[in-house]
Amino acid sequence: MIDHASAGISDYLKSKEFYTKALAPLGYKLGADMEEYKVCGFGETEHSDFWISVKQPAGGGHTAFAVKTKEEVDAFHKTGIEAGGGDNGAPGYRKEYGPGYYAAFIHDLDGNNIEVVWHDPSPSA
């Protein structure tokens, strides 16, 4: 679980649209939107726990979102690519990260590495 994380971006409006689409399969919605400062947050509730901002250097960030099902990982990867993200690792088990570690990775519009992970309770996976 993360409390909050952020990614530096270069184009506020394009990135806001990208994340609105890419995070929808995870149940995330646009929350706080301070367009005048080019900062906005996303979350499952009114509490935004993932933020984007042009005030940070673009690219190079990494954020991992924990989800409850394998299907959410798959949906995030597919939707994130369709929204304009770059493939950085198709959905699958990552045994090198630990038993049952099922994840997918995309690069957002500025090269930040966005991961979604499901921890399969089956240790044989």
The residue that leads in pLDDT, 5 or 58, is 5
In a domain, 59, yes or no: yes
Q: Is the pTM of this model over 0.75?
A: yes
Show the 3-state SS of 73-119. HHHHHHHHHHCCCEECCCCEECHHHCCCEEEEEEECCCCCEEEEEEE
Q: What is the CATH number of the domain that holds 111?
A: 3.10.180.10
Query: 33 is in which domain, residue-wise?
Result: 5-119
In a domain, 124, yes or no: no
Split into its structural domains, the chain has a count of 1
In a domain, 83, yes or no: yes
What does the alpha-carbon distance between residue 74 and residue 83 come to, in Å, rounded to a whole number? Answer: 14
In this predicted model, what pLDDT tens digit does every residue of 43-87 receive, in sequence order?
A: 998 888 999 999 877 788 889 999 999 999 999 999 999 999 999
Instruction: Name the percent of the chain lying above pLDDT 70.
Output: 95
